[in-house]
């Protein structure tokens, strides 16, 4: 169940953030639909060779964001929010677009120039 999650020791981000990002990615991709049971904290910690505290932190943060729900005595599950996967995808895209807009601003590009460059990049990707 957690074979698609991997922790990189060379990643500068804390391990709990890596876990959170990968769980969000699985949900956004539709691999983990609403209601799907997540691995137990102990099982995921053992599978990833991280501490229970690390996984617990990731789960608590995901729960506070409304991405997962924990039912006492039953485990943790992907939240039943109507369009959670779409919301996560949009949030991730917005983060990347904000970063691109910030770089464009630093480089003195106009919004029109940024939009034109984005269109060129998208066309390049579509032609592959």
| Residue 6 within a domain | no
Residue 123: band (very low, low, confident or very high) from pLDDT cuts 50, 70, 90: confident
| Residue 1 within a domain | no
* HEC-encoded secondary structure of 58-112: HHHHHHHCCCEEEECCCEEEECCCCCHHHHHHHHHHHHHHHHHHHHHHHHCCCHH
| Residue 53 within a domain | yes
Report the domain count for the chain.
2
Task: Quick: pLDDT tens for 38-77.
Answer: 999 999 999 999 999 999 999 999 998 888 999 988 999 9
| Residue 68 within a domain | yes
Task: Quick: pLDDT tens for 12-31.
Answer: 999 999 999 999 989 888 88
Containing structural domain, residue 121: 84-126
| Residue 9 within a domain | no
| Residue 122 within a domain | yes
């Amino acid at each position: 169940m957690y074979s698609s999650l991997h922790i990189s020791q060379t990643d500068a981000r804390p391990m709990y953030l890596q876990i959170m990002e990968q769980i969000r990615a699985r949900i956004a991709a539709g691999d983990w639909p609403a209601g799907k049971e997540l691995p137990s904290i102990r099982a995921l910690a053992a599978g990833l060779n991280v501490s229970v505290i690390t996984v617990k932190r990731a789960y608590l943060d995901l729960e506070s964001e409304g991405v997962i729900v924990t039912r006492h005595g039953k485990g943790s599950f992907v939240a039943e929010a109507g369009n959670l996967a779409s919301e996560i995808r949009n949030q991730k895209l917005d983060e990347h677009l904000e970063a691109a807009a910030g770089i464009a601003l630093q480089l003195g590009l106009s919004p029109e120039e940024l939009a034109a460059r984005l269109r060129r990049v998208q066309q390049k990707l579509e032609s592959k």
